[in-house]
Amino acid sequence: MQKIKSLMARQGLKSPQESMTDLSPVENLRTPVTEEMRELRQQPIDPQAEQEIIDSIEEVYFSNDSFDMVRHELEKLPPELNLQELEEYRDKLKRQQGAVSKRVADLILEKQPSYVKELERVTALQTNLQLAAVICTNARRQLRVAKEEFTEASLGLLANQRRRQLLTGLLKSLRTIKTLQRTDVRLSEMLEEEDYPGAIQLCLECQKAASTFKHYSCISELNSKLQDTLEQIEEQLDVALSRTCKHFDVLHYTKVQKAYTLLGKTQTAMDQLHMHFTQAIHNTVFQVVLGYVELCAGNADTKFQKMQYKDLCTHITLDSYIPCLTDLCKALWEVMLSYHRTMQWHEEHDKQKTAPSQDDAVAEPDELTVDRSYVKKKLEHGLTRIWQDVQLKVKVYILGTDMSNFKYDDFIVVLDVISRLMQVGEEFCGSKSEVLQESIKRQSVNYFKNYHRARLEELRMFLENETWELCPVKSNFNIAQLHEFKFMGQCRSPSVSPSRQAASSVAPVLEELSLFQQYHQDGNPFEMHIEQKEEETEDVLASNGYESDELEKSVYQDYDSDSDVADELKQDYVDEQTGDAPLKSVSRETIRSKKKSDYNLSKASAPILTNTTLNVIRLVGKYMQMMNILKPIAFDVIHCVSQLFDYYLYAVYTFFGRNDMPVPSPSLPTYSGREAVPARVVGPACLYESSGLGLISSRLRTTLNRIQESLIDMDPIGENVVVHGHPEDRKEKVPSPHLSQMVVLTDSGTLYGLAQRVVATESLVFLAEQFEFLQSHLDTMMPAAKKPFLQQFYSQTVSTASELRKPIYWIVAAKAIDYEQMLLMMAGVKWDIKEIMSQHNVYVDVLLKEFEQFNKRLSDVSRHVRIPLPVSNVLWEHCIRLANRTLVEGYANVKKCSNEGRALMQLDFQQFLMKLEKLTDLRPIPDKEFVETYIKAYYLTENDMEQFIKNHREYSMKQLANLVNVCLGSHINKKARQKLLAAIDDIDRPKR
């Protein structure tokens, strides 16, 4: 466009805009002059030539609007100008200019209508603009008037209102800031009230409000102050959390947990809680032990507070050991109870949180679910960790003191406390408390080893000082009445008596509750033992063996009266052993004698036992208490229990069944490395032993030998002393006891110490019965692998106690009646008579008088010591057997005898039996057939006699040989005699 303008300027033409500016508004409305256009049209028109001229114009003329064509043409001039060339070039440029101008003019003429139309629009626009300018001028003038008269006052009022609103908002902000500044006072009050959730909520709200007014410069300082306050609240909150470890309070803990939830630090709180529990355990045990150590040390300068807990435990004295242990367990119980209640709180809290979400079907945020899961796992894991800490602390305390010198009751208290603590651990986290078991086992093995050794020595001392007098106990005496067996009523064992089971079933609900349920609110499981100990009472003793003097009188009055005997007993007597009735009725005297011998029917049938027996029973109870509390050493304890019984049995046999035997018996073992000293051999006694009816069974002999080899340390007396085993083995043995010199066993007036023998033997039998009663309880305590030992102990040792009656009471029977005098009197009788006698011989009356005297002395003894029916039967059996064998021996000493003499023998024996049956109720009479068979053998033929010799080996060789010799000449010849004697010799040969 600039090029065209310049071209038109050179031709004297003007653009329409320029021409318009030169015209007045009225002149611009007329049509412009077109003379120039006409001049251009008058030029010859050759479009092709015109186009060629335009095409010949250089491209540079169209390159840029700012192109300076004059300078361009001047620069193109050659150094040497040629006028003709210049003119030609000028003409060329004019032609080009003319062509361009003509083309422009044509284009302008072609667009003339549009131009006019547009020009009219411009004119109209100009008119409108002029009108608008007039309106604006009028408006400005009117606005100026309004401003002066109204607007300034109104807008000033609005501005003041706006300022008022801003100032009101500012005042409110200032009041809020002032409140924020005073918040620390309220926060301090809330912290003193332990309203931690409220304090944190207020602090967070203050921080939120402070962030709203952070554009104030004073708020930045307040922000830092609030942050410090929040940190202070967290510190106090941590202290409050630590207090729950010892004394859990639901409201307090709820506040603390709510506060941590507001802070968003639930997981952190749980980590801190476990750290506080660990610290609480350490601090608690240290303070408890430190308190006792300082109390016992008095004013010592030792700085115990700087000691380690392990070293501190070694300073606990024996007197303060149990109170300190009890207080230690009480304090640890409080810590574990707090943890248990903490878990319960979280479980109930989780149930309360999850219950509404299930009803409303509203899903809780993932963060809360994660926190709850973390807390639950952390608490479950913490159970084992806390119990492990408790075990380690108590283990250090247990092993810090040597308990080998403790009294038994004190040691049982320690075991009971530790057992209760292990029960707490099992209920707390299901732990078997291996750490505690191992530590208490070490102490128990050490203690029990020394304790048992001392008790065996003590038992030996008791036995050597025992006078074997009756210990007066009530007729209803039961070992369950003793303190030592009270624990059996508290444990579920088959050995608990029905009465104890009935008593223990009164409160079944309490047994089902765990310790944490029983002592959830108050109380302590470690206070129970002391309370129960104070309530224990023991009333088992009676005066003079009877519960009252009137009862004692009535007992002996019953011996002289048969008014309470049943009619059936008055009419006939039924043997208790066989159930058979005798052929003839029994007289009233026989019934009275029966009552005298059947002392077990007495109303005052109290158990026969001594003080030593009672002490052994108490020891067994103590040992069982230890077993019940500490099962890992149960086998060792039961083994020691068996040694107590073994030693008592061995002592009773040594005192009363061996030392004063009148004849050496091949069935008895030798002891002390010595052979039994041969005594003067009494004829019937020798026959009694040689007959094969041994007093000691093979089982009892084996038991005695075992006891001697394993338990008895033989006294180094004599020249041929044999030391059995190694010195270490001898440490586990006890010297053989010696009978007290106060016990006299040689007085015939007391039936050679029968009362002492009865008390000793029957106390052993009573002890065996108590062991039988305890067998099921011991069996439940014994490990499965060791139960054969217990079964063997009962089958081979306990069951043999009653077998000691035979050898012990045989000594009395062998001395109570003068069998040698009877032999001498029988030797003076003439048996080769020719007529049948109707009167028995005098030796029968003498023998019966001896039996009557024996019965009288037996009654005298029974007035001091009750003689049970089995004892009476054994005594009578021994006496009758010895008497019958003495009769056979007397008959075997006869040199000559006729048939009438044999009939006299039968008459004598029948008289003896008839009178004897009135003195004793023992049926059948022992060895009755032994005498009758021997007397009747006189009438046998040769062949029958030979068969008799082979079949009846209970007779001695002398008795059989005498039988053959006496029969010589009557119905046996010399040849038959030699044959029969040879048969007897054949029988005797294997025995040599």
Could you tell me if 946 and 975 are in contact, meaning their C-beta atoms sit under 8 angstroms apart?
Answer: no
- What is the SS3 assignment for 456-474? HHHHHHHHHHCCCCCCCEC
Check residue 301 and give its pLDDT. Answer: 61
Alpha-carbon distance of 524 to 507, in angstroms, equals 19
Check residue 220 and give its pLDDT. Answer: 65
Residue 506 φ then ψ, to 5°:
-65, -40
Alpha-carbon distance of 627 to 623, in angstroms, equals 6
Alpha-carbon distance of 967 to 983, in angstroms, equals 16
**Per-residue buried b or exposed e for 566-579, using 16+ beta carbons within 10 Å of the residue's own CB:** eeeeeeebeeeeee
Could you tell me if 539 and 480 are in contact, meaning their C-beta atoms sit under 8 angstroms apart?
Answer: no
Check residue 573 and give its pLDDT. Answer: 37
Check residue 365 and give its pLDDT. Answer: 63
Distances from the Cα of 902 to the Cαs of 828, 836, 884, 907, in angstroms?
15, 9, 16, 9
Sign of CA dihedral 974, 975, 978, 981: negative
Could you tell me if 400 and 324 are in contact, meaning their C-beta atoms sit under 8 angstroms apart?
Answer: no
Could you tell me if 638 and 453 are in contact, meaning their C-beta atoms sit under 8 angstroms apart?
Answer: no
Residue 386 φ then ψ, to 5°:
-70, -40
Burial grade of 333 (CB within 10 A; 0-12, 13-18, 19 or more): buried
Could you tell me if 96 and 59 are in contact, meaning their C-beta atoms sit under 8 angstroms apart?
Answer: no
Q: What is the mean pLDDT of each run of 10 residues along the chain (992 residues)?
A: 51 45 41 50 69 84 82 85 87 87 86 88 94 94 82 79 86 73 69 72 71 66 71 80 83 82 82 88 90 80 80 88 91 89 85 60 62 83 90 91 85 86 88 86 86 92 92 86 80 38 40 69 67 54 50 40 39 39 39 42 68 93 84 87 94 81 37 34 43 69 92 61 49 86 88 92 94 91 88 92 91 90 91 87 92 92 90 92 93 89 92 92 90 90 87 88 81 83 79 55
The contacts of residue 898 (CB under 8 Å, 6+ apart) are 831, 832, 833, 834, 970
The contacts of residue 34 (CB under 8 Å, 6+ apart) are 109
Closest to 233 in 3D by CA, of 292, 297, 296, 186: 186
Q: In this structure, what DSSP letter does residue 749 have?
A: G
Say how many CA atoms lie within 13 Å of 202 toward its Cβ. 20
Distances from the Cα of 441 to the Cαs of 426, 449, 654, 684, 990, in angstroms?
18, 12, 36, 59, 58
Neighbour count for residue 633 (Cβ, 10 Å): 18
Distances from the Cα of 21 to the Cαs of 3, 15, 17, 113, 320, in angstroms?
21, 10, 6, 20, 128
Check residue 757 and give its pLDDT. Answer: 93
Check residue 28 and give its pLDDT. Answer: 41
The contacts of residue 420 (CB under 8 Å, 6+ apart) are 329, 525, 526, 528, 529
